[in-house]
Amino acid sequence: MPPETPAQLIPAPSSIDGTRRGGFTLDARTTLSAGPGTETTERWLRSTLAPALGLALAPGDEGGGAAKNTIRLVVDETLESEGYRLQISAEEGVELRGGSGAGVFWGAQTLRQLLGPEAFRRAPLTGHKPTVIAEQTIEDRPRFSWRGLMLDVARHFTHKSDVLRYLDLLAAHKLNVFHFHLTDDQGWRIEIKRYPKLTEIGAWRSRTKWGHRFSDLWDEKPYGGYYTQDDIREIVAYATARHITVVPEIDIPGHSQAAIAAYPELGNSDVVDTAALAPWETWGVNPNVLAPTEHTVEFYEGVLEEVLELFPADTSPFIHMGGDECPKGQWRQSPTAQARIEQLGLADEDELQSWMIRHFDGWLTSRGRRLIGWDEILEGGLAPGATVSSWRGYAGGITAAEAGHDVVMCPEQQVYLDHRQDGGIDEPMPIGYVRTLEDVYRFEPVPPGLSPEAAAHVIGTQANVWTEVMQDRSRIDYQVFPRLVAFAEVAWSALPAPEARDFADFERRMVEHYRRLDALGVDYRPPGGPLPWQKRPGVQGFPREGAPPTV
Ligand code: ACM
């Protein structure tokens, strides 16, 4: 018998043809036939899905022939690259065809949802429980090719095992970009062999602001951590096995105090005593920025040479160079920076920053990579090959898209998941604007009014998670979930215009999805507000009042 209620799929697929005459029963005898190009999905089914349900999934039916009790995985290039068709038939078993290995993998994520919350269990089940899936055919493809999450591991360090867990959570939601914010004022988190002090000194701070920057509280413990190059390789391999591209971010020329603390000659030492600087202990926009010298450029080329080795071109075509929030005060005062402006024939400090970003755009392009930066890289002129992460609203993204540059829309006012989820006093991280689950569900990455040509340059969207007030994994979970689920549907599904979106239907499907998140051990914010242990009195916040600006 088919199950009584259809699975509540999230993100919503393009179409479901559910005649539901009968059901297919997955049981101890079900075999797995994996065609060429489907190896990642085969491994994932064996390592994750089969143990959760206590299934053996013996190899079988290699020729795609007559066996009925089989899951067949097939790459079918007549389908869209990341698209898939999932056919469940009582007679024929499960056939999952994808336009590529990625398409098959996303289809397997849908299959997991069809199998019920038990399929999300993390502990292996001994003995199996036959599971019935209703007969149906699901056709699906993503709206955007860039469906991302940015995690800031600089303000608070996320241990490697928690990064891997987040990659699993992204995959479960068909998100395919992990933007890895590896460097900032408060910590340098990636081992660079030729510059060991970046992590010996730059990865550790002596104490940490507790709460927002205006808070008067401190955590007086030394704090830090970093990823070894082996850790990075493991993270990249884990992501690649889940069809997730990792975009490493090495932020220049602002957000660099940790690097300057390690190598003081990188800073504007003719203006400040850079030898006295340490990794920053508090939050905000930091005045201590990189000196715009040949030495700095050569140093960062050395960093990038190792970064390019660790993040190979086929799986990490994009390298993020930051470019955000670089105060120009030190450059205005610095005779060295002023001489540089004159020598290069530039108009001002904005053009000096643009010169630096252009340099790395050319450097990366000549090595077969693409530079992406925050929308401040528009100031002083956009580098020819640059892609823009539009975070200060939509405006930078609109300008860049109209100028023919690719854009990832991630406006702070809409999809910064560090912003609080409710205006109540129980909200444990009371910073930013209130951005509810429904607000995120109604986020539209392509602003109205963009010409079709410009709109085609919006290659996708991502949600960003800054961790100043998130000290551990449970805190991050609370901020990210359930809003990332709504975001994933925005990024994947072809939803109508924001005002026409059926949030009630999304909430109805969320009832089942919360059970999946429970099985995955995600400390999400429940619909009714934080649980007693999730409340955190004493964290001093910085709420912004009223509605956020829209564009
Ligand atoms: C940013 O939020 N500074 C990109």
**pLDDT tens digit sequence for 91-113:** 889 999 999 999 999 999 999 99
CA 415 to chain centre: 12
Would you call 359 a catalytic residue per the annotation? no
Indicate which atom in ligand 1 lies nearest the CA of residue 466.
2
Which residue of the set 156, 255, 419, 513 is catalytic? Answer: 255
- Same domain? For 85 and 160 the reply is no
Indicate which atom in ligand 1 lies nearest the CA of residue 416.
2
Residue 237: predicted pLDDT: 98
Q: Can you spell out the DSSP letters for 415-452?
A: HBTTS-S-SSTT-SS-EES---HHHHHT--SS-TT--H
pLDDT interval class at 430 (50, 70, 90)? confident
Q: Which two tokens stand for residue 506?
A: 């999304």
Q: For a substitution probing ligand 1, which of 152, 247, 412 has the most ligand atoms within 8 Å of its CB?
A: 412
pLDDT interval class at 36 (50, 70, 90)? very high
Neighbouring CB atoms inside 10 A of 94's CB total 23
Give the separation between CA 176 and CA 189, rounded to whole angstroms.
22
| Domain count of the fold of the chain | 2
**Residue 400 carries which side chain, given as an amino acid letter?**
A
Q: Is residue 43 part of a domain?
A: yes
C-alpha distances in angstroms, 180 versus 12, 419, 480? 27, 19, 15
Strand, helix or coil for residue 219: strand
Residue 220: predicted pLDDT: 96
Report the CATH number that the domain containing residue 63 is assigned in CATH: 3.30.379.10
Cross-strand pairs, 373? 388
Residues in contact with 63: Cβ distance below 8 Å, sequence separation at least 6, in sequence order:
none
pLDDT interval class at 551 (50, 70, 90)? low
Write down which residue in 140, 166, 196 finishes a domain: 140
Residue 62: predicted pLDDT: 52
What number is the average pLDDT over the span 355-361? Answer: 97
How many angstroms does the Cα of residue 240 sit away from the middle of ligand 1?
26
Cross-strand pairs, 185? none
Residues in contact with 421: Cβ distance below 8 Å, sequence separation at least 6, in sequence order:
427, 434, 435, 436, 437, 479, 483, 525
Give 246-274 pLDDT, tens digit per residue. Answer: 999 999 999 999 999 999 999 999 999 99
Instruction: Reply yes or no on whether the pLDDT at 347 is more than 60.
Output: yes
Q: Is residue 435 part of a domain?
A: yes
What number is the average pLDDT over the span 195-207? Answer: 98
How many angstroms does the Cα of residue 187 sit away from the middle of ligand 1?
16
- Same domain? For 263 and 132 the reply is no
CA 455 to chain centre: 22
Instruction: Reply yes or no on whether the pLDDT at 1 is more than 60.
Output: no
Give the separation between CA 382 and CA 466, rounded to whole angstroms.
25
- Of the chain, the percentage scoring pLDDT greater than 90 comes to 86
Write down which residue in 92, 114, 140 finishes a domain: 140
Q: Which two tokens stand for residue 257?
A: 């105090």
What number is the average pLDDT over the span 445-456? Answer: 96
Q: Is residue 525 part of a domain?
A: yes
Q: b or e along 218-245 (b: 16 or more beta carbons within 10 Å of the residue's beta carbon)?
A: eeeeebbebbeeebbeebbebbbbbbbb
Instruction: Reply yes or no on whether the pLDDT at 222 is more than 90.
Output: yes
- Same domain? For 474 and 494 the reply is yes
Report the CATH number that the domain containing residue 248 is assigned in CATH: 3.20.20.80
Residue 538: predicted pLDDT: 63
Q: What is the model's pTM?
A: 0.97
Instruction: Reply yes or no on whether the pLDDT at 465 is more than 70.
Output: yes
How many angstroms does the Cα of residue 150 sit away from the middle of ligand 1?
11
Ligand 1, atom 3, lies closest to the CA of 324
Pocket of ligand 1 (CB under 6 A): 324-325, 374, 391
Give the separation between CA 225 and CA 227, rounded to whole angstroms.
7
Strand, helix or coil for residue 512: helix
Q: Are strands 131-134 and 208-210 parallel, antiparallel or unpaired?
A: unpaired
Q: Is residue 8 part of a domain?
A: no
Instruction: Reply yes or no on whether the pLDDT at 3 is more than 70.
Output: no
Q: For a substitution probing ligand 1, which of 181, 183, 391 has the most ligand atoms within 8 Å of its CB?
A: 391
- Same domain? For 495 and 383 the reply is yes
Indicate which atom in ligand 1 lies nearest the CA of residue 412.
2
Q: For a substitution probing ligand 1, which of 325, 413, 419, 433 has the most ligand atoms within 8 Å of its CB?
A: 325
- Same domain? For 394 and 333 the reply is yes
Q: How far apart are the first and last CA of the chain?
A: 51
Of 84, 81, 109, 79, the residue nearest 96 (C-alpha): 84
- Same domain? For 34 and 182 the reply is no
Q: Which helix (DSSP H) or strand (DSSP E) does residue 409 occupy?
A: strand 407-409
Residue 6: predicted pLDDT: 64
pLDDT interval class at 535 (50, 70, 90)? confident
How many angstroms does the Cα of residue 123 sit away from the middle of ligand 1?
38
- Same domain? For 363 and 507 the reply is yes
Instruction: Compute the mean pLDDT over every residue in the chain, rounded to the nearest whole number.
Output: 94
Would you call 255 a catalytic residue per the annotation? yes
Residue 531: predicted pLDDT: 93
- Identify the domain containing residue 205 by its residue range: 146-534
How many angstroms does the Cα of residue 502 sit away from the middle of ligand 1?
31
How many angstroms does the Cα of residue 397 sit away from the middle of ligand 1?
14
Indicate which atom in ligand 1 lies nearest the CA of residue 374.
4
Q: Is residue 191 part of a domain?
A: yes
Instruction: Reply yes or no on whether the pLDDT at 66 is more than 70.
Output: no
Q: For a substitution probing ligand 1, which of 150, 285, 320, 324 has the most ligand atoms within 8 Å of its CB?
A: 324
Q: Which residue has the higher pLDDT, 152 or 60?
A: 152
Would you call 139 a catalytic residue per the annotation? no
Write down which residue in 76, 110, 140 finishes a domain: 140
Q: Which two tokens stand for residue 511?
A: 């009832």
- Same domain? For 164 and 274 the reply is yes
- Same domain? For 130 and 178 the reply is no
Residues in contact with 245: Cβ distance below 8 Å, sequence separation at least 6, in sequence order:
176, 177, 178, 239, 315, 316, 317, 318
Residue 144: predicted pLDDT: 98
Q: Is residue 549 part of a domain?
A: no
Residue 61: predicted pLDDT: 63
How many angstroms does the Cα of residue 450 sit away from the middle of ligand 1?
24
- Its sign, for the CA torsion 373, 377, 383, 384, is positive
Residues in contact with 422: Cβ distance below 8 Å, sequence separation at least 6, in sequence order:
434, 436, 529
Q: Is residue 184 part of a domain?
A: yes
Instruction: Reply yes or no on whether the pLDDT at 537 is more than 70.
Output: no
Give the separation between CA 158 and CA 153, rounded to whole angstroms.
6
Question: Is there a contact between 131 and 25 (Cβ–Cβ < 8 Å)?
Answer: yes
Q: Is residue 548 part of a domain?
A: no
- Same domain? For 104 and 151 the reply is no
- Same domain? For 408 and 494 the reply is yes
- Same domain? For 218 and 111 the reply is no
Residue 257: predicted pLDDT: 98
Give 108-164 pLDDT, tens digit per residue. Answer: 999 999 999 999 998 888 877 788 999 999 999 999 999 999 999 999 999 999 999
Give the separation between CA 302 and CA 213, rounded to whole angstroms.
33
Q: Which two tokens stand for residue 367?
A: 């090595």
Question: Is there a contact between 253 and 331 (Cβ–Cβ < 8 Å)?
Answer: no
Q: Which two tokens stand for residue 79?
A: 């389908």
What number is the average pLDDT over the span 232-256? Answer: 98
